[in-house]
Structure 1
Amino acid sequence: MFDILWRGMAIGIGGTVLMDVWAMLLSLLPGQNRPNWAPVGRWFWHLKTGTVFHDNIADAEPYAQELALGWIGHYAVGILYGILLAAIAGPDWLAAPTFLPAWILGIVTVGAGWFLLQPGLGIGWAASKLPNANTVRLLNLVAHTIFAAGMYWTALLIR
């Protein structure tokens, strides 16, 4: 059990790091912003009061450490997904990883962003309130595919 836990944690960190590298590279393109985890930190902070959905997270009461909490939450979720992958795929997959299980989980996890986080931030189901919703959705799918690749490559490194 401990083996699955530590490998899952490493796999989740590896996937999250690669996704962050991708986001930083993407932000070098015209019209793309650097990731800002402060709104996500504010969202996490307000979960303690039972508030999951906001009309606009910018209108919610600020939290002094929301950027740090956003980064911590981002990595905690990535680690959770890595542990989930290791637990579901099991010891045989950890001994000989393949991309497909990581990619399936990566794509499934887009749902948490589309149906929990994005409406929680006030941008609608699957970013539906944004003028570029389809672009955001496509970028979400690409980012989570890169997250899956990072999980897979990390699993290969630690097998």
Structure 2
Amino acid sequence: MEMIIKAILIGVGATIIMDLWAIFLKTFFSIPSLNYAFVGRWIGHMTKGKYMHQSIATAAPIPGETAIGWMAHYMIGITFSILLVLIWGEQWTASPTIGPALIIGIGTTVAPFFLMQPGMGLGIAASRTPKPDVARMRSLMAHTVYGIGLYLAALLLTRIY
């Protein structure tokens, strides 16, 4: 049970770091971040059996979609952290290294490229967006930051837990 608690705390910490990165990009470079209301809308429509959209922006809004999207964002961050701990074990939480964290972080880019973006009408790996290469690079950067966040959160946890 302690290992799961550590993984949850690491996942929350890493997701916060990812969010701080998004705030940094928006504040200093006017680069908008993902609209989590659209994530919530996509998830909300799944409960009605609709998994693919031409454009999530034009799909009917779902009550509470912003909250749903943000909760999903953190639950996904926690889930990938649990995956890291399951693969590398509790030993990694006691003595974290950057390699496994980056493997998981960068590896999580598969989810938006092949699940979220196609489901939201953006195409595989953002191929239907106005600037696919820019969208891909932003996803890769955000998920790399998440990987760095996994490492930093685990490192912090070793100091306080």
Same fold (TM over 0.5): yes
Shift of 1:34: 4.4
Match of 1:143 in 2: 142
Moved more, 98-107 or 83-92: 83-92
Counterparts of residues 4-19 of structure 1 (less than 5 Å):
4-19=3-18
Q: Secondary structure at the match of 1:52?
A: coil
% identical equivalent positions: 42
Q: TM-score, normalised by structure 2?
A: 0.93
Give the 5 Å matches for 1:1-159.
2-159=1-158
Q: Following the alignment from structure 2 to structure 1, what is the Cα–Cα distance between the partners of residues 90 and 120?
A: 37
Q: RMSD in angstroms over aligned alpha carbons?
A: 1.2
Offset at residue 51 of structure 1 (A): 1.9
Q: Which runs of 5+ in 2 are unaligned?
A: none
CA displacement at 1:94 relative to structure 2:
1.4
Q: Which runs of 5+ in 1 are unaligned?
A: none
Tell me by how many angstroms 1:28 deviates.
2.0
* Structure 1 counterpart of 2:93, one-letter code: L
Shift of 1:62: 1.1
Q: Which moved more, 1:29-38 or 1:19-28?
A: 29-38
